Structure 1
């Protein structure tokens, strides 16, 4: 289905009428901000070996893990990374009282930077670190600077426990509380909007199927495993479609 004005108006109408609207976002929402996709051809995992970022690797050789982690971070996030119009459109929909939550597979923190206040970060946030011993969280920037200065592995200033990027590494389970929260929102949803996600990585990929009572809207450049189940599938760029949806909701609220 193409992203026609009529289709976007219809989706905007359903969003405006929903009691509980949920957005699930993937890498496609952040690529316009200059963040490369990880899994596609030419993506991050074509440059770096995913095995170097496994939790087992962190446990076995945290110093080597952190050196490589900082190198990858500079490659992925080292530019001038800012929220794009897709992030801003979702924040606008939340501020308008239309969107209740953003559930994201991304770890870049751009939804919060754009102004979204209710964000469930399924895979964590690369801007934070967490202590393996005491659980304290802190800003990742100074920790990466310590690694660059030769302090490897970095340790907690409070208890001397090992610091880990506050993201889900390969071999780790998703945070149980975040996953449960995402599933609860999906079950309550009247409208479930999946944007910029291939919907191929579990358990996030199962969330649209959890939203059994919802109108399912998928916006992605390519078809996904839930294409057949989608009420509306727009094979288009999220930076075109999401701002158009926000505009349509704004007009509907103004004249409705």
Structure 2
């Protein structure tokens, strides 16, 4: 049975790989105000602070390894009879490290750099600084290629097209509070998809899902993937 699946992943799927979530106490996010390190205005005020913050995140993410949840989703992509898209709010590359190929980073990626002047993108070095010139135009306008608060997420048309043909929509490790991603479940449900949330605790939008599975992603995601593959082969 052919099945099309769209999966939204958030920080919760990477937490077991050692990458703290936005709300973790003592993590990188807890040491900084959002408006200082995750907005265009904050970058304009103090680009050095912002680069330091993302340099630390990049270093942390590069050392992290995929966990069982990432590996299970890669297995699902490889064995599914149908189309699979992983839409991730995460800026790490753990899905790709696990072997997933059809991954859309709606909030950008730590591994990429962006020129604020000409829009050129390139592979980010381990550390970035305000005086790094753009390799295309030479402007001193280098920034991380991540989507900050107040900016438009990437790939919204592709996501909407995938949701339109999805038989299953799953949200894994997301808070359910950040739009437009928080509305994907309503969009998928309205188009007739089965919807499921897999989370450590119910999100603020859990009531909108047809099914909610509670537990660590490294346990719940492999079990869910096996269930979907069994159903897919029937």
TM over 0.5: same fold?
yes
Single out whichever of 155-164 and 115-124 deviates more from structure 2: 155-164
Which of the numbers 214, 217, 222 marks the counterpart of 2:201? Answer: 222
State the Cα distance separating 1:249 from its structure 2 match: 4.8
Separation in structure 2 between the aligned mates of residue 82 and residue 68 of structure 1, nearest angstrom: 21
Q: CA deviation at 1:251?
A: 5.6
Say whether 1:31 aligns with 2:24: no
1:168, CA displacement in angstroms?
0.6
Q: Who wins on radius of gyration, i.e. which is larger?
A: 1
Give 1:71 shift. 4.1
* Number of corresponding residues: 229
Higher helix proportion? 1
Task: Compute the displacement of 1:253 (Å).
Answer: 6.8
- Secondary structure, aligned partner of 2:104: strand
Correspondence for 2:69: 86
**For the residues of structure 2 that align with 1:153 and 1:239, how far apart are their CA atoms?**
41
Q: How far off is 1:73 after superposition?
A: 4.1
Paired with 1:238 and 1:18, the residues of 2 have a C-alpha distance of 25
Distance 1:198 1:65, change over 3 A: closer
SS of residue in 2 equivalent to 1:125: strand
Relative to 1, partners in 2 of residues 1:68 and 1:246: Cα closer, same or farther, differing over 3 Å?
Answer: closer
Instruction: Give ranges in structure 1 of 5+ residues lacking alignment.
Output: 1-16
Q: Provide TM-score, normalisation by structure 1.
A: 0.80
Match of 1:55 among 40, 64, 78: 40
Q: Who is 1:7 aligned against?
A: none
Q: Distance in 2 between matches of 1:110 and 1:167?
A: 16
| Deviation for aligned residue 1:133 | 2.6
Q: Cα deviation per residue 1:51-110 (whole Å; 9 max; x = unaligned)?
A: 221211223443443244324544x436x3111111111111011125510011101021
Distance in 2 (CA, whole Å) between partners of 1:139 and 1:42 is 29
> Match of 2:167?
190
Match of 2:50 in 1: 65
- Residues 1:236 and 2:215 aligned together: yes
Cα shift at 1:236: 1.0
